[in-house]
């Protein structure tokens, strides 16, 4: 089988940490999302190309420099009342195309029966191709992992719905519209729309290790005839662009399964462990893909997986952990952290730039400064948090205790500066509770 000239894959972070693992509200469908685009464009400069920011967008994060994050948090902490806070937030905005793209990605968690052969199914119509999200109380989520961590479901979602996603951001071709043509072939994608899709997709050329942004790949001289790029108007044919994406899609070479299959296994000496005990005790599995990721593309791609760590104490850097009866000290700046299926474990984390995601855990203590935090399907957990955003408590949790961050180590201040997290505000005591069973979507002031 010949290698593709261009390979494109789905980034892990947007799905794993940019979406919320909860079934979307029935009104959050493609029809209403399309209305958001129309409404925003009609508002002029206040809605397009950037939409006014509002508070419930906390898990939608654009790549903001650490210094700007610190300045924003400090300004919010100085607000005397909610009115002053709202006034400050009203000055912020998000990219409209990226925002509707992330809203559409939330459809990954839509719960429905097997797609009918009869027309009229809810979008996306291929929900039967992936399993439904299950967060059943104290039990560990079945199916091995949740959808937010299932790279294959991310690929299938984009593969099956790239046409719908592109159509949401498409514009009518003025020339074709004037001729009375109103089909998808008459719709075009602007460079801004393709850049928005580039926040979810990335790729590279054959025989090249370097990653290339989606918009740069699509504009290459050798690819333009396939991607539908028009050099004169600097736009893309929506239909041709969608077909090109489908044809080039491959599995993410830096995902969890690739790290397990092709990564390097690490042999970290555990705290207090000598050579004899190392040989006699069954060691946990620790692997990394650091040697596979290009140095200029480390953020969001490099990962360390720790699994089956039992009755040990580790003081290192990590990203995804599964452990039992252990103490893990990961005292360095981290991009994002997933804690899944851990029991009777204490984790002390360095500042987390993006999100800490906890699922299927029991009797776990987590001590972490982080920008976002969410927990689901866990019980008997104690969380010591420093976070400028409200912690998100999803369904399936039982006996979860929240408390303020109370730990210090030598380089903490430096690490917090690199991660863009300041000492205030700390909203550890203002959680947002979303219960899947009763569809209790958060209201303003929910606690």
- Same domain? For 286 and 424 the reply is yes
- 66 in a domain, yes or no? no
- Tokens coding 347: 């984790």
Domain boundary among 248, 276, 291: 248
Where in the sequence is the domain holding 295, given as residue range(s)? 262-433
E strands of 35-138, at which residues? Answer: 50-52, 93-95
In the chain, the number of structural domains is: 2
- What backbone torsions phi and psi does residue 308 show, to the nearest 5 degrees? 60, 35
Q: Tell me the pLDDT band of 151, cut-offs 50, 70 and 90.
A: confident
Helix ranges (H only) for 134-233 are 151-169, 174-178, 191-197, 214-218, 224-227
Which one of 181, 216, 248 terminates a domain? 248
pLDDT in tens, 380-407: 999 999 999 999 999 889 999 999 999 9
User: Comparing C-alpha atoms, which of 1, 7, 5 is closest to residue 221?
Assistant: 5
Residues 215 and 279 in one domain: no
Segment 153-181, tens digit of pLDDT: 899 999 999 999 999 999 887 665 555 54
Q: Which of 223, 248, 273 is the last residue of a domain?
A: 248
* Half-sphere exposure for 205 (CA within 13 Å, toward CB): 9
Kindly state whether residues 197 and 315 are assigned to the same domain: no
Pick from 319, 326, 381, 324: which is nearest to 356 by CA? 319
CB under 8 Å to 186, separation ≥6 — which residues?
A: 172, 173, 176, 177
Length reported for the chain: 447
The answer to whether residues 118 and 20 belong to one domain is yes
Residue 438 lies in a domain: no
Q: Are residues 20 and 44 in the same domain?
A: yes
Same domain for 427 and 345 = yes
Task: Mark whether 236 and 323 lie in a shared domain.
Answer: no
- The pTM for the full model equals 0.79
In a domain, 134, yes or no: yes
Q: Can you list the positions of beta strands (E) in 110-186? A: 171-172
Q: Is the pLDDT of residue 351 over 80?
A: yes
What is the per-residue pLDDT across 247-263, written as a single tens digit (0 to 9) for each? 999 998 888 777 777 77
Residues 208 and 270 in one domain: no
Mean pLDDT, residues 408-416:
93
pLDDT of residue 104: 92
């Amino acid at each position: 089988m010949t290698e593709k000239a261009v390979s494109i894959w789905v980034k892990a972070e947007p799905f794993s940490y940019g979406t919320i693992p909860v079934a979307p509200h029935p009104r959050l469908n493609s029809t209403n999302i399309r209305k958001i685009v129309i409404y925003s464009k009609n508002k002029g400069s206040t809605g397009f190309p950037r939409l006014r920011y509002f508070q419930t967008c906390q898990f939608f994060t654009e790549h903001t420099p650490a210094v700007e994050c610190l300045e924003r948090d400090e300004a919010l902490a100085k607000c005397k009342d909610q009115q002053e806070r709202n006034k400050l937030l009203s000055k912020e905005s998000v990219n409209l195309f990226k925002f509707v793209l992330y809203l559409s990605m939330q459809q990954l968690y839509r719960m429905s029966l097997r797609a009918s052969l009869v027309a009229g199914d809810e979008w996306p119509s291929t929900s039967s191709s992936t399993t439904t999200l299950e967060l059943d109380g104290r039990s560990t989520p079945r199916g091995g992992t949740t959808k937010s961590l299932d790279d294959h479901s991310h690929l299938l979602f984009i593969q099956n719905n790239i046409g719908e996603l592109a159509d949401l951001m498409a514009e009518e071709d003025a020339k074709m519209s004037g001729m009375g043509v109103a089909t998808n072939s008459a719709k075009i994608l602007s460079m801004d729309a393709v850049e928005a899709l580039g926040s979810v997709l990335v790729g590279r050329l054959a025989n090249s290790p370097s990653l290339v942004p989606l918009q740069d790949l699509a504009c290459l001289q050798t690819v333009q005839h396939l991607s539908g790029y028009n050099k004169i108007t600097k736009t893309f044919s929506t239909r041709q662009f969608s077909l090109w994406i489908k044809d080039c899609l491959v599995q993410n070479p830096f995902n969890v399964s690739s790290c397990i299959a092709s990564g390097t296994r690490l042999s970290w000496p555990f705290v207090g462990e000598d050579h004899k005990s190392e040989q006699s005790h069954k060691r946990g599995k620790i692997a990394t893909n650091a040697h596979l990721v290009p140095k200029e593309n480390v953020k969001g791609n490099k990962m360390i997986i720790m699994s089956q760590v039992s009755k040990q104490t580790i003081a290192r850097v990590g990203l995804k952990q599964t452990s039992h009866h252990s103490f893990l000290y990961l005292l360095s700046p981290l991009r994002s952290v997933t804690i899944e299926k851990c029991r009777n474990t204490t984790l002390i984390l360095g500042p987390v730039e993006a999100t800490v995601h906890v699922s299927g855990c029991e009797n776990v203590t987590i001590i972490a400064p982080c920008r976002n935090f969410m927990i689901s399907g866990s019980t008997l957990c104690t969380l010591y948090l420093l976070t400028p955003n409200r912690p998100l408590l999803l369904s399936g949790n039982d006996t979860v205790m929240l408390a303020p961050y109370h730990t210090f180590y030598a380089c903490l201040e430096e690490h917090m500066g690199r991660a863009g997290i300041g000492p205030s505000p700390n909203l550890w005591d203002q959680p947002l509770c979303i219960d899947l069973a009763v569809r209790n979507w958060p209201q303003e002031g929910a606690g």
